[in-house]
Structure 1
Amino acid sequence: MAQDRKHVVEFLDRMLMDGSKLSSEEKLCSYKGVLYPITICRPETLQALETFEARRDDVIMTGYPKCGSHWLEGILNNLSITSAKYTEEEMKKRTDLEKELKITPRLEFGDPDKFKRMEKLPSRRIIITHLTPDILPKSVFRNKAKVLVLIRNPKDTLVSFFHFNNKMPIFPKRTWDAYFTDFMNGKVSWGSYFDFVKEWDKYIDNENVTAVNYEDLKENPNLEVKRIAKFLGFSLTEEEIQSVVEKSRFKTMKESGQETLGAFGDILFRKGSVGDWKTLFSESQNKEMDRKFEEYLAGTKLGAQIKYDIYCKI
């Protein structure tokens, strides 16, 4: 698998190298008022997003950064491979085509011509992004692609994003207090966590959209993987579901991260735990986050699914 995904490793290694050459002021760009890391998200690519034509059988997974996107991506890929019963030769053909087409690991990554190249990918395409519905191509909703919205409690998301930010040369480094303030004000890459959840809450009753809760996935992976498979129309046995769960465990993916993702793998997978926010939050920061959540998300359906009182209260 490491050799099959060599083009992804090369892209990620180049991203890290390019980021290390930039000053803090040069690392981020702005598109429609939202910040993005310039080495992977060019404004012209974000502008060209509308040219992307989604298919009805596409699987679109969107999650705010550090909500577990790589973990859920692994689950979706294993579900797809298991359901389709691909042979090794078929898998090699698909990965060779991805390499030939220079497919990047996120929809918004790379050059603006990538969307034309993506038309040559066979169905069923699994497409991962960190984007809100207003930035995603309208074809996603017009063609009724299946959308999974990954959510995680905001306190753990913030702590995980802080550590990730300071390990990644594509982002300007910040102290904890400075990063906390930026996060609360939406002045971090991919914008506001609160806006992300609030915007996707408007779509959550759509029959082609479902939410996946990070904490639920950790607590009961078999049940959640089974639910995801049903939503996507994958027909799997209990044994196959269990196999997907075992292959997709956080510990398993972390151990294989360096092999499959190069130097980026060491940065990407940290703890994957619930409750790590308690190591960094001050009492005043705790209260500020509680107020912000209450104001923006407490009355929303996705806000309720985050289970804030369980995971974010001392």
Structure 2
Amino acid sequence: MENMEEDFNRRELVDVQGVPLFWGIAEEWSQVESFETRPDDLLIATYPKSGTTWVSEIVDLIYNNGDTEKCKRDVIYNRVVFMELIIPGILNGIKDLEAMQSPRLVKTHLPVQLLPHSFWKNNCKVIYVARNAKDVVVSYYYFYQMAKLHPLPGTWEEFLEKFIAGKVAYGSWYDHVKGWWEKRKDHRILFLFYEDLKENPKQEIQKLLKFLEKDLPEETINKIVYHTSFDVMKNNPSANYTTVEEWDMDHSVSPFMRKGISGDWKNHFTVAQYERFEVDYQKKMKGSTLHFRAEI
């Protein structure tokens, strides 16, 4: 696998319509753009490190009426396919989805303006999960270190600057959350917050059930809450990404499921970094009705 690592990994990101993406996605962009949805597809959309795997596991459990054994039938990234992820000759989310039976669960990190048009055309339901920016950047920094498709992150200071400038995979967090927030007015989009899920998972799962027009008994909902708690998922090989090959993700650098808490940013930001971040944040989020909690 050694030569493979050299071929694929740590390459610079490539701009697609102004958004930095992995080289394989950029190279095969026409495949992504022309992806054909089915009306019963469900899309889980997030900016990276915002609770994607968590919500994917919850939704798969809802689709399987809380049957935890069924949800161990395969690893999470095969149950909820990462649509745009393409590494030519190795991995192709579009092709995997085409081979999948309905109803399909689809994952994307694309900003709203890059989403294949077919999702809007077929009026597919979308679940968008957002997490406060400071926790996202800390989590992303560790993820960059272990997930080798990314360029090297540099120091924490350097990575923070890249994040603020939107020079990371999937671009600006600010544009991403605001773009999807605005879009919810015209489409079937359920907008959830990571912090709410953390604070009251049961309430948020009930919102999901309502949105998905599903009804589950109380005890099943409680079971889903338990099964998707951080500690249980961290030890679940079908959800924690430990099955990914080492050339792709190195868990010894940092586990995929690291802490799963709100407010970890306080252990990383210096006072000066915090102040610089806040000034920039206020400027970029000015005029938006979108509000985040940086801790719970």
Structure 2 counterpart SS, 1:42:
helix
Query: Contact 2:233/2:239 (CA < 8 Å) preserved in 1?
Result: no
**Contact 2:181-2:191 at 8 Å conserved across structures:** no
Q: TM-score, normalised by structure 1?
A: 0.80
Shift of 1:183: 0.3
Hey, what's the Cα distance between the residues in 2 that align with 1:87 and 1:185?
43
Q: Report what 2:272 is aligned to.
A: 284
The amino acid of 2:235's aligned partner reads: E
Q: Gapped runs of 5+ residues in structure 1?
A: 1-13
Post-superposition CA distance 1:152-195 (Å, at most 9, x none): 00000011101111222222131011001000000011111111
* 1:159 match: 138
Q: Secondary structure at the match of 2:28?
A: helix
Structure 1 distance, partners of 2:240, 2:263, is: 28
- CA distance in 1 between partners of 2:124 and 2:116 (Å): 11
Once the two structures are superposed, what CA deviation does each residue of 1:123-153 show, in whole Å capped at 9, x if it has no partner?
A: 2111011011111111111111011111000
User: How much has 1:298 moved relative to structure 2?
Assistant: 4.3
TM-score scaled by structure 2?
Answer: 0.84
Aligned residue identity for 1:64 = Y
Higher helix share: 1
For 1:211, what is the secondary structure of its paired residue? strand
Fraction of identical pairs, as percent: 28
Q: Which 4+ runs in 1 deviate beyond 6 A? A: none
Q: Deviations along 1:255-281, whole A, 9 cap, x unmatched? A: 124886325494310001111101111
Superposition CA RMSD, Å: 3.1
Q: Aligned ranges for residues 74-223 of structure 1 at < 5 Å?
A: 74-82=57-65, 105-110=81-86, 115=94, 118-171=97-150, 172-223=152-203
Residue 247 (structure 1) aligned to one of 223, 227, 231:
227
Matched, 1:72 2:55: yes
Question: Is the contact between residue 257 and residue 269 of structure 1 (CA under 8 Å) also seen in structure 2?
Answer: no
Question: Contact 2:20–2:170 (CA<8 Å) still a contact in 1?
Answer: yes
Q: C-alpha offsets along residues 78-117 of structure 1, whole Å, 9 cap, x if unaligned?
A: 111117x7996x996xx69x97xxx983111126875356
Amino acid across the alignment from 1:80? Y
Kindly indicate whether residue 258 of structure 2 is the aligned counterpart of residue 270 of structure 1. Answer: yes
- Aligned residue pair count: 283
Provide structure 2 residue ranges, at least 5 long, that are not aligned to the other structure: none
The code of the aligned residue for 1:231 comes to F
